[in-house]
Amino acid sequence: MSVSVEKLEKNVVALEVAVEADKFVDAVNQAAKTLAKKVNVPGFRKGKAPRRMVEQYVGKQALYDEALDRLIGPAYAEAVIESGIDPVDRPEVDLVQIEEGKDLIFKAKVMVKPEVELGEYKGLKIEQSAAIITEEEVAEALKSKQQQHARLITFEEGKVEDDDTITLDFEGFTDGVPFVGGKAENYQLVIGSGTFIPGFEEGLIGAEIGQPLDVNVTFPAEYHSAELAGKDAVFKTLVKKVQRKELSALDDEFAKDVSEFETLDELKNDLRNKLMKTTEMRVKDEHLKAIISKVADNASVEIPEVMINERIGAMMDDLSRNLSQQGLTLEQYYQFTNTTKEAMQEQLRPQAAEGVKTDLVLETIAKVEGIEVTEDEVDEEIKKASERHGQDAALLKQTLIARGELSFYKESMVNQKTVNFLVEQNT
């Protein structure tokens, strides 16, 4: 097989691939055997008709189509490796020559990874901020712990207050007609959580337990449901129960109840130390991101739209998986956040483009600087991962190989090495 590469335009190349004539003939003969098993040729048992009879019955083009299905995929994959290109999309394939006794020739036009023009990526001297926490932050952490350990008191009489957790029935109406999805019974709602459209939760403050109450609201103009967008509505509600937090006094007894410490001062010191560790990690992460962001900003690259769209798709998949762990679907998320799939994709576009550019820049720096990982380093990292998850290292490696994920594992390690290199060079 022979391959030639032609650069057509920025980020687009054409591979001209010539497959040996004898391989094409073999593929056509195999195609005839395959088709003989699928069609009934008069006078022959299924699968036993000779090639010339199969060809007469189904036509030469059917034989060629079957043969091309066998040849072009593997030939293209081999041509990609031989030419050293890095495709980012499916190829557009055009046949140049298809005739028995001659080489099969086809052209594959394909988008490839763009070339990155690196800017300054060493000696940028980006300083790391100092990790500082205030006593106000310690007090907030203590208050949060107090809230976590608050006791819920149930009221079946009285009025709703802000921050209460209430149980209610409701049904929504527009122009006197109930609308789909506007009714629920024994619904639990935290007042002030922002779960419902503006005005609903506020309208329930002061509601008397056990007494019907009409809450008037206006749906946002950009509401996901066109039937309700911008419309006035009335929710007929009935608060059945109220739960309100009762906070413990912040004293030594509180510290004993919620921690292993004997005094409130000891608890505060522990919270202070934990806040400092968290702040140090955050500051370090911000420093790392600042370096990578500056290095990426200094570089120039024209990113193919297909790469950005692919990254958006991956981000949407991640969001879907995270939501499913909370028992939600993407459709429910769109409803709760008053958005659509298209709007969400557009919202993610800048972040996706930035992520693709960063990856391309890091990959280019790794090549320029000769940053690689050895098999020993890969094995050591797999060993650490297996210990964290209580797995056998050899089995984990075999799993990565079987899933075709080992190369991604190595790329991730090279990426981390490159990030570490940039931190060393720019601090």
Burial zone of 349 (CB within 10 Å; 0-12 exposed, 13-18 middle, 19+ buried):
middle
CA distance 426 to 121: 8
Hey, what amino acid is at 271?
L
pLDDT for 45: 67
What is the crossing angle of helices 406-426 and 264-298, to 10°?
90
Q: What is the DSSP letter of 18?
A: E
Q: What is the pLDDT of residue 9?
A: 84
Domains annotated for the chain, with CATH where assigned, are 2-111 (3.30.70.1050), 151-246 (3.10.50.40), 264-426 (1.10.3120.10)
CB atoms within 10 A of CB 291: 21
Express as a percent the part of the chain with pLDDT over 70: 98
Residue 113 tokens read as 């990874």
Angstrom distance (rounded) from CA 289 to CA 292: 5
- Distance, in Å, from the CA atom of 12 to the CA atom of 114, rounded to the nearest integer, reads 9
pLDDT of residue 195: 85
- Report pLDDT digits (tens) over 308-337: 999 999 999 999 999 898 888 888 888 877
User: How many angstroms separate the CA atoms of 292 and 302, rounded?
Assistant: 18
What gap in Å lies between CA 104 and CA 213, rounded to an integer? Answer: 79
* 386 vs 231: CA distance, rounded Å: 56
Question: Which residues pair with residue 376 across a beta bridge?
Answer: none
> Tokens 């195999």 appear where?
30
In the chain, % helix, strand, coil (3-state, to 5) comes to 50, 20, 30
Q: In this predicted model, what pLDDT tens digit does every residue of 358-400 receive, in sequence order?
A: 999 999 999 999 999 999 999 999 999 898 888 888 898 899 8
Is the CB of residue 427 less than 8 Å from the CB of residue 284?
no
What is the pLDDT, as a whole number, of residue 38?
A: 76
Q: pTM of the prediction?
A: 0.72
Cβ-Cβ contacts under 8 Å for 185 (sequence gap 6 or more): 169
Distance CA 387, CA 72 (A): 44
The structure tokens listed for 377 are 């380093």
Please, what is the Cα angle at 72 between 66 and 74, to 5 degrees?
Answer: 115
- Rounded Cα–Cα distance for residues 375 and 125 (Å): 33
User: Which residues in the chain come in under a pLDDT of 50?
Assistant: none
pLDDT at 225: 81
What pLDDT, in 10s, does the model give residues 204-233?
999 999 999 999 999 988 887 888 889 999
Instruction: Give the angle subtended at the CA of 390 by the CAs of 385 and 395, to the nearest 5°.
Output: 70
Residue 333: per-residue pLDDT: 86
